[in-house]
A and B are shown apart, each in its own frame.
Chain A
Amino acid sequence: METLLEKIKDRVNANFDLKDYKIYTDLKRVDLFFNKEHIPSVLLYLKEQMGFRHLMHMSVVDWIEEGEFEIIFFLWAPKEKVKIFVKTRIDRDNPVMENMDNIWPQLNTYEREFKEMYGIEFPGLVAPEEFILESWSGPPPMRRDFETDKYAKDNFATRPGREDAQDVRETIAKRSGEDIPDFAKKYSR
């Protein structure tokens, strides 16, 4: 198995400027890191030449500390039963990614979603109307710097009494005499 994954990696590496890679033998999976501008040709190559015909998913991770978005394409080769994650990073302040819905038409749906949720621009994207958010005027809501609590308070009237409600974790911790876990302390009032 490992040799197969290695082979895949090598073959891609021979053709493209591979930045980094990672191999998970137990998961039958290779992670490949590229620069943003190589992505369309890599995807096309993987689809047409190497049999990764199925796009399982496309995802975005907000690396706010590094000022970058990570875009991940999840590919699947039905014959070899191998996964490839193609990853790239783009600038968070000027998020522009190439539109690739001509490679897989279903990418259009993902791209429309990320346009709304992360504010990533896909030039030439066919998006006739809003996808999920209708007439959204605020900042893209899935970015980590979006303050959802404040936004909700500003826009949707809260019923009086709601603000008195205690954090459930706190209540439970107090009742059972335990400490609040460390990761939860940050949110605790």
Chain B
Amino acid sequence: MYNDKNKQKIVDIIKNAARKHSLWVLAYGTGCGAIEVPATMTSRYDAERLGVRGAATPRQADVLLITGYLTVKTLKRVIRVYEQMQDPKYVIGFGSCTINGGMYFDSYNTINQLDLYLPVDVYISGCMPRPEAVLEGFGKLQELIGKGIANGAQQYKENLDFYRENQKKVIKNWDFQDYNW
């Protein structure tokens, strides 16, 4: 229960302080938002000064950054990637598309609402959000982690049935074995 505010022990406070300042981001560049990530990471906005750094594989990553619309096909991959990540892990929904479908709200093949399928900790609105907004989003996530209430992964585990039901409703050919921790 390390992410429950009322029961935060001293160890958890230290751990959360470390986690907060060391966010390794797996940027799942699905849509047009992928182009904003380099801008955020490089010289102009330099996310690394906040401890935000790119990670190469889900095993090493803390934050799953979903940058844009998700088709049914990519949603499946995103879920797979999310479940391969190790605890503690956070999800940032990036751009309008992840919030309510954005300009693809009536597409036959993109989901409209990411938080039905994955536990989103922070949404960054905008189409596209500028790097300032992205940094603001990371700041918000850091704040939540520091308070110990960024407990999306916890929610996901507890309400796994709910998420699985939603996921399977959209993904017809559900072919990977049910993953547990």
Interface residues of A (CB under 8 A from B): 132-138, 141, 146, 148-149, 151-153, 155-159, 161-162
State the Cβ distance, A68 to closest chain B Cβ, in Å: 23
Known: A134-B173, A135-B172. Contact between A158 and B105, CB under 8 A? yes
Interface residues of B in 18-56 (CB under 8 A from A): none
The binding surface of chain A is classed by DSSP as loop
Known: A134-B73, A137-B172, A159-B100. Contact between A152 and B113, CB under 8 A? no
CA A161 – CA B113 in complex, angstroms? 12
The reply to whether the CB of B57 lies closer than 8 angstroms to some CB of chain A is no
- CB–CB B72/A162 < 8 A: no
Known: A134-B73, A134-B173, A162-B100. Contact between A157 and B112, CB under 8 A? yes
- CB–CB B173/A152 < 8 A: no
- CB–CB A159/B113 < 8 A: yes
CA A154 – CA B35 in complex, angstroms? 32
- CB–CB A158/B112 < 8 A: yes
The reply to whether the CB of B6 lies closer than 8 angstroms to some CB of chain A is no
Closest to B106 in A: A149
Contacts of A158 in B (CB 8 A): 100-101, 105, 112-113
State the Cβ distance, A112 to closest chain B Cβ, in Å: 15
- CB–CB A157/B113 < 8 A: yes
- CB–CB B170/A162 < 8 A: no
Closest to B112 in A: A156
The reply to whether the CB of B116 lies closer than 8 angstroms to some CB of chain A is yes
Which of A133, A157, A162 has the most B CB atoms < 10 Å from its CB? Answer: A157
Count of A-B residue pairs with CB < 8 Å: 56
Per the CB 8 Å criterion, the residue count for chain B at the interface is 22
- CB–CB A152/B108 < 8 A: yes
Contacts of A156 in B (CB 8 A): 101, 110-113, 170
CA A42 – CA B169 in complex, angstroms? 46
- CB–CB B101/A148 < 8 A: no
Known: A134-B73, A134-B172, A137-B172. Contact between A157 and B116, CB under 8 A? yes
CA A149 – CA B112 in complex, angstroms? 12
A-B contact pairs, 9 of them (CB 8 A): A132-B73, A134-B72, A135-B173, A138-B108, A148-B107, A152-B107, A157-B113, A158-B100, A158-B112
Known: A141-B109, A149-B106, A152-B105. Contact between A161 and B170, CB under 8 A? no
CA A109 – CA B172 in complex, angstroms? 23
Contacts of B107 in A (CB 8 A): 148, 152
The reply to whether the CB of B99 lies closer than 8 angstroms to some CB of chain A is yes
Contacts of A159 in B (CB 8 A): 99-101, 112-113
- CB–CB B112/A152 < 8 A: yes
Contacts of A135 in B (CB 8 A): 171-173
Closest to B113 in A: A159
State the Cβ distance, B125 to closest chain A Cβ, in Å: 12
